[in-house]
Structure formats: structure tokens, C-alpha cells
Structure 1
Amino acid sequence: MLFNFAMVPLEEVQPWGKPGRLSLSWFGLTDSQYWVQAGTSVLLEYSDVARRLGSSRYCDYQVARLYEDVMALLPYILEPVPADLIQYISGDRSCVLERATAWHAANSERDDDLYWEIIDGSSTWIGNRSLHFSYLSPSANILMWSDESLVHIEWDNRAKLVDGVCAWSAECGSHSLPRSEFEEEVRSFHKRLMDEMSVRVSRVVAGGLPADVHVDVPGLLREHEQRKLLPASAFELPSPHTDWQAVRKALLAIDCQGSADRWR
């Protein structure tokens, strides 16, 4: 399986808030360890050094966060990246990043609309294909994007250090799988999470939490029923689609090291 998780036993889930005002929500109840099995590499698995320093084996957080991020990015992950732009998102991007850094330095005093159009055009499309781990310290750098036939998962965590050593067991690499297989993995992730949460919600409703932990039970039941739905639109790109011509113009401005004035 691509997306994997192991939920913390219900009795070990830590409630939010202070004594006398403890509570849990649907999101909080998904407390887990989770990881991504990308071929032979295990993403979000801590390195031996990090584990010796006290980290768990895998990322320790609410798995709903990974699920929500994947679902939010899904339409963009499945929107094929044009062949001429793949070099900007795939592989060793150090030269691309160096040019971007130099362009930012040359235009650091700009604050006009055109400047921000270049910033937006050159970066937003990549952000829409990047899983976000700002809630972790150190974070992880994982991209998911597709061409016409494959979905590509790429990671570069060489700069994500703990005690001077990479925090993650998967430092740098890539894995690809057919688009249809990736979609099935997403559906499987959805079903497994919702099935486990159905059991967990039932236990909460039956009084499975300490009496001093408040749960809005009617709200919890409503939210779970809503989350169980996986509409076909989850796999469809919202309108408007990525403006690839605007992306090309922005990247050209950066590649040429021209000023924002010369973009058009």
C-alpha cells in the first residue's frame, strides 16, 4: 500500500486543552503513526539516528492531516505537467533554485503587481504538487506530480537534519506508478481511514473516552458521515486549470535573470 497508518489506541489518544476543558474532535481522534511506501523506500520513516534520539519509527501526528493534504492536492497531482516544464519540478533542481535565488536577490526591492505575478507563476504550480509538513520539525520535502501516463513521487530530505544527520530514512529518490494505480491507492487510503474511524466513532459514542474529555457527539457523527463520502469531483481539477503559459513566462523571466519590467 502507498499510504499507510497505524492509529494510536483510543485510550492513549491525548485530548486537547487544559484540565477541566479537555476535548477531542474527529481530526484529533485520528492520532497515528503514518508513512508512505514509495517502492522500496519508506517516506516519513525516521532515520536510525533520529530514533536513537527519541523519535518514533514513523511520523507521529493525526493521519487526517496527511489525508486532507493528499485530497486537496489530488486534482493538481493528476493534472499532467507539460513535457517542457518537467525539468523545473523533477530531479536535481539545484540549478533551478540557484537561478530563482539570484532573481529574487536582483528584484528584492520590488513590490509591484508584476513582480508578484512572476513569484506566483513560478512557484504556485509546484506548491500545488508538494505535500506540506510544516507541522513537523524537521519537515520533509515530498513532491507528487504526473505526466500523461505516470504519477511520480520525488523526495529530497538531505537538508532535513537532526544532530547533523538526515532525520529521515529516505534521503533522496523517486518512485513512479501508473495513474490508475495511484488513484486506486488514494481510494484505498480513504476507505481504510473511514473504516477505522467508523469503529473509533462508535466506541466514542458508546462512552469509550474518559468522562472529563468533551466530545460533541452529534457533531462528530455528522462530520464522519460527511467525510465518508468520496465524490468523483475529488479527482477532477477545479476551474480554472493551471495557466501553463503564465508559468512559462514567469520561469523565463527568472531563467533570463531579467528584471520584472522585462517580463512582457
Structure 2
Amino acid sequence: MINFKLKKIEDVRPSGSGENARMSWFWLTDADLWLSFKGTNIYEYTKEALEYFGDKPSPYNHYPLVRFIEDFTHIFIEINESIPEELYKLTKDLSTFKKDAQKWLDIYETDENEYSDFYFEEYDNLISWTYKRTFDSGHLIGGPHLSFYRNDNKIRIVWDVSHKLDNGVDLWTAKDGFVELDFPDFIEMVKDFGIRFFKEMDKQVELAVQKDWKTVQIDKKRLLEEHKEREEEFKNQLSLLKQEMNNKTDWSLVTDLYSRMKNEIKTKA
């Protein structure tokens, strides 16, 4: 489901230029990336978008893959926590929930002080579970938002990919949607990606150590050290998905706020 193709070592470009050119583990992860879910490819550009940009070598997101890994693994501790069934049902159509939350926020916008208190004490407590399980691919133009919501032994992966270019064409081939998986299968998917990625990076790092980089600065000893550190870090992050489910969120507060929101929209909006 998580697909990638590392750039050939001879095609990897360092950061900087001239005497300031440097090669690092980060840039060695330069790769195509696309996620495949039941016939939908996330991070795949439309034909029209490729024509618009004119110089893209691939139809897929092309950037150091470590950026995706860091964004993804950063929310593993949140993904591990199960959300209540009532809220899980909302993840089929989060846009409606977020629009309702905005309507609720607007009700309190008339008084600046009350609005500020309401924002942090009620509104943010209501919606924080959504953005804590989301990353936005912010390094990309119109980067997809990917969210991961666990409910006991299942997980729903939701993608928001709607983005049009200046000329009005769709940026991505995918449409907004979601897929549901068994949570153990999701963990195996992530584990499999890690195995494949670090196996390929073993080769990439070995080639980088053997290569004469001429004027490009590279600390080969540090490169080998960082490679080991990155792999260990990934394993540690993966273990967060496997550990006993954490229950740090006050879900009764969230569900009470949700009920209050629905009632106040009916009576005050």
C-alpha cells in the first residue's frame, strides 16, 4: 500500500551548490512516493497537472521520503488510541462535522472575550482528536491531508486531496475518500514498508560510501551512524502502534461537547 522508488545514486542531488554542496542521509532518501488503496493512488498527479508543471520527471510525489516518514510516524502515538464509536462514525464525512463545528464557533463570535475562551475550552477540545491524527504534506503544493482513526480493532484512513491549480484543473488523480482496514493489517502494512525502505536504503548508503563525491561535502562516518539511528527510530515508533492501547483522552468530554454543539446549532444558530 505504501509504494516508493528511490532515485538512483548517480541522480541524487546534494543540497546547496558549489563549495557549499552537501550530501546527507536526508537527500539520499529522494524518491517517488504513492499510496494505493483499493484502486486509488494518493500522491499521483493528474495528466493535466503534469502538463501544467512541465518538468516533473514522475507522475508521483517526488521528494526525500524521510519527510513522509517523519510526518507519518509522528502521529503513531495518537493513532494507537481508539476513538468512541459515535465519533468514529463521523470520520466517514468529516467535512460535515467540521462545518458544524465552525457554525458552533460562529455563534460565540459576537463577544471577543467569550469567543476566545470558547475557542480554547470548548471548540478546540471538540475537534482536537481530528487534527492530532492528521498530517498535511505541507512541503507540497496542495499536499493531501491524511488522517488515521482507530476504533478498537479497525482503522479508517481518510484522505482530503481536493486541490485545483490556477488554471482550474485537479492537481491529484484521487478524489476525497477513505478506506477501512483491520488494525493488525494496518500495523503489518507499516512494518512491511519499513522493512522494504531500510533494505533499499542499506544499498543506497553503501553506494554513497563507495562513491567519490569530488567537491560535494559528505561525512561518510556520520552517514553510516545516522542510517542506523534512523532505522532504530522507525522501529521505536512502530512499537507505539503495537503497544497496549493508550487512553489519555477524556472522551466523555468530547462526546458531551458534541451533543452540546448539535443542540446549540438547533436552538441558537
| TM-score bracket for this pair, using the shorter chain length | 0.7 to 0.9
Cα offset, 1:58, TM superposition: 0.7
1:243 aligns to 2:231 (yes or no): no
Cα separation, partners in 2 of 1:185 and 1:95, compared to 1, 3 Å: closer
- Which position in structure 2 is the counterpart of 1:28? 27
State the one-letter code of the partner of 1:21. Answer: N
Which residue does the alignment assign to 1:49?
48
Letter in 2 for 1:183: I
Q: State whether residues 88 and 149 of structure 2, in contact with CA within 8 Å, keep that contact through their aligned partners in structure 1.
A: no
**TM-score after normalising by structure 1:** 0.85
Residue 67 of structure 1 is matched in structure 2 by 69
- Determine helix, strand or coil for the equivalent of 2:73: helix
Structure 2 residue aligned with 1:213, among 200, 211, 216? 216
Given that residues 75 and 238 in structure 1 are in contact (C-alpha distance below 8 angstroms), is that contact kept between their aligned partners in structure 2? Answer: no
Q: TM-score, normalised to structure 2's length? A: 0.84
State how far apart, in whole Å, the 2-side matches of 1:240 and 1:177 are. 21
Query: 2:188 is matched with which residue?
Result: 184
Of residues 219, 228, 231, the one that matches 2:231 is 228
**CA distance in structure 2 between the partners assigned to 1:46 and 1:80 by the alignment:** 33
Cα distance change, pair 113–18 in 1 and its aligned pair in 2 (3 A)? farther
Rounded to whole Å, the distance in 2 between the matches of 1:184 and 1:95 is 32
RMSD of aligned residue pairs (Cα, Å): 2.4
1:11 matched residue in structure 2? 10
2:81 to 79, 82, 87: 79
Question: Is the contact made by 1:142 and 1:155 (CA closer than 8 Å) also made in structure 2?
Answer: yes
1:14-65, Cα deviation, whole Å (9 max, x unpaired): 2112321111221221011101111211111111211222343111111111
1:134 aligns with 2:134: no
| Structure 2 counterpart of 1:262 | none
Total equivalences in the alignment? 254
Residue range with higher mean Cα deviation, 66-75 or 25-34: 66-75
Alignment of 1:191-202 (within 5 A): 191-202=195-206
CA apart distance, 1:4: 0.8
**Counterpart amino acid of 1:59?**
N
Structure 1 unmatched ranges of 5 or more: 259-264
How far the C-alpha of 1:149 sits from its partner, in A, is 2.4
Q: Which has the higher helix share?
A: 2
1:156 to 157, 160, 169: 160
* Secondary structure at the counterpart of residue 164 of structure 1: coil
Structure 1 residues 17 and 251, CA, compared in 2 at 3 Å: closer, same or farther?
Answer: farther
Greater Cα offset, 225-234 or 178-187: 225-234
Q: Which moved more, 1:37-46 or 1:228-237?
A: 228-237
Q: Which amino acid aligns with 1:234?
A: L
Change (3 A) 1:143 1:39: same
- What is the rounded CA distance, in whole Å, between the counterparts of 1:226 and 1:44 in structure 2? 28
Change in Cα spacing, 1:224 to 1:234, as seen in structure 2 (3 Å) is: farther
Aligned partner of residue 98 in structure 1, secondary structure: helix
Aligned to 2:176: 172
How far, CA to CA, are the matches of 2:184 and 2:60 in structure 1? 27
Secondary structure of 1:166 counterpart: coil
